[in-house]
A and B are shown apart, each in its own frame.
Chain A
Amino acid sequence: DAGVIQSPRHEVTEMGQEVTLRCKPISGHDYLFWYRQTMMRGLELLIYFNNNVPIDDSGMPEDRFSAKMPNASFSTLKIQPSEPRDSAVYFCASSFTGGTEAFFGQGTRLTVV
């Protein structure tokens, strides 16, 4: 397996624009996580899914953020409208049930100007 795949790797957008980040988890993994990393706050969990169902979205900062997982091999994180304070690196990770290792993608570096 190629690991967790995220796209795009880099995204620069203007304030107010819609941004969509994409993630393909490792095949067979039933948990998918979205994290955000900033210098000030470190790694924060935004939302996670189990079998495509959102389990905990308490980390989603505002209604401007939404995430979907339409099937076991694809998830999106959308920000609409984007703001400069959303600039961060967004990571997707996946794992099996039962406290197994979580594997991370390479991240999407988002810059909102």
Chain B
Amino acid sequence: KQEVTQIPAALSVPEGENLVLNCSFTDSAIYNLQWFRQDPGKGLTSLLLIQSSQREQTSGRLNASLDKSSGRSTLYIAASQPGDSATYLCAPGVFGNEKLTFGTGTRLTIIP
């Protein structure tokens, strides 16, 4: 059974700093990994999808990396802004089915 851990559970940083969110998973037989953000009281918004054959994926100030063999992914946010404040969740997809297993998330607060 896939288990997903996200560390830290909460993070507060001043505006403008670069930061890294971590995601680890136990079953390395994944075919992709998706990062989401969730604002309070809202649904999940997809940020980045990395296929298992990729090592990195970039979208604007966001960069996600994937190391399948070690069961790790990171989400790098450059030049953080108050609007980045949200909970960030990672979800690996295991080969053979389409379902995603979610971590418990990292609650990020950017201090103006």
Contact = CB atoms under 8 A, between A and B. Distances in A.
A33 B34 CA distance: 15
A99 B104 contact: no
Contacts of B100: 33, 45, 102
A85 B49 CA distance: 33
Contacts of A107: 42-43
Interface residues of B, number: 24
A104 B32 contact: no
B101 A45 contact: yes
A113 B11 CA distance: 34
Interface of A is mostly: strand
Interface stretch (B19-27, B77-85, B91-99): B91-99
25 contacts: A31-B98, A33-B99, A33-B100, A35-B102, A43-B102, A48-B98, A48-B99, A56-B97, A56-B99, A97-B98, A99-B31, A99-B32, A99-B51, A101-B34, A101-B46, A101-B49, A102-B46, A102-B100, A104-B36, A104-B43, A104-B44, A105-B43, A106-B42, A107-B43, A109-B41
Interface of A: 31, 33, 35, 42-43, 45, 48, 50, 55-56, 91, 93, 95, 97, 99-107, 109
